[in-house]
């Protein structure tokens, strides 16, 4: 078995409907924060902030461009956009002393929330930023799906286990 030491990200590209979105400078990937409810009362030695099975608070993605472009304005239209974020991750095979790469692919349905047009400084980048709400996200690492969350269709798969399958059945959705 190889001893792969994860070292970092080499680069990334973002595509909308399989069209290259040029000019992206950086991005902030989503946080997955479970919705919770407080459980307390007789039989518990305190309070438990218990996650609601398969439910998450707002999931957002931020992308920052060097300047405004026509492609960015298209992403601001009030509809869902299919975005693919492809990353090349670098590792070191410690046993062989060789670098490795692994693909991280994030596919999401993105709804524009905010557009910060940026700054006007002579000779500097504008720093145009967009934030998107993600009702759907799928995260694959090395070709294997690790996370799939689809809020509208009651799907929450983590490492192959669909935590909302029973809920869909309970709600008469299957």
Under CATH, which number does the domain 4-29+58-170 receive?
Answer: 2.30.110
Q: Which of 80, 73, 72 is CA-nearest to residue 137?
A: 80
Query: CA 91, CA 100: separation in Å to the nearest integer?
Result: 5
Supply the pLDDT for residue 166: 96
Over its length of 174 residues, how does the chain's per-residue pLDDT go in tens digits?
A: 679 999 999 999 999 988 877 778 799 999 999 999 999 999 999 999 999 999 999 999 999 998 888 888 899 999 999 999 999 999 999 999 999 999 999 999 999 999 999 989 998 989 999 999 999 999 999 999 999 999 999 999 999 999 999 999 999 997
CA 95 to chain centre: 32
Supply the pLDDT for residue 70: 85
At 67, phi and psi to the nearest 5?
-160, 170
Supply the pLDDT for residue 152: 97
Supply the pLDDT for residue 128: 92
Q: What is the pTM of this model?
A: 0.91
Query: CA 132, CA 115: separation in Å to the nearest integer?
Result: 9
> For tokens 């590209």, what's the residue?
13
Domain boundaries, the chain: 4-29+58-170
Query: CA 153, CA 122: separation in Å to the nearest integer?
Result: 47
Give the residues across from 114 on adjacent strands.
Answer: 131
Supply the pLDDT for residue 1: 63
């Amino acid at each position: 078995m190889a001893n792969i030491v994860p070292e970092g990200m080499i680069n990334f590209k973002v595509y909308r409907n399989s069209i290259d979105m040029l000019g992206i400078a950086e991005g902030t990937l989503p946080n997955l924060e479970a919705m919770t409810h407080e459980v307390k009362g007789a039989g518990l030695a305190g309070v438990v902030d218990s996650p609601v099975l398969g439910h998450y608070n707002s999931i957002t993605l931020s992308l920052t461009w060097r300047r405004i472009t026509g492609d960015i304005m298209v992403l601001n239209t009030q509809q869902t956009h299919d975005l693919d974020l492809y990353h090349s991750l670098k590792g070191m095979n410690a046993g062989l002393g060789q670098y490795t790469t692994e693909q991280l692919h994030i596919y999401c349905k993105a709804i524009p929330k905010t557009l910060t047009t940026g700054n006007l400084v002579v000779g500097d980048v504008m720093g145009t930023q967009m934030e998107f709400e993600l009702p759907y996200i799928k995260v694959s690492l090395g070709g294997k799906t690790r996370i799939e969350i689809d809020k509208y269709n009651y799907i929450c798969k983590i490492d192959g286990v669909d935590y909302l399958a029973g809920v869909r059945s309970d709600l008469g959705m299957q």
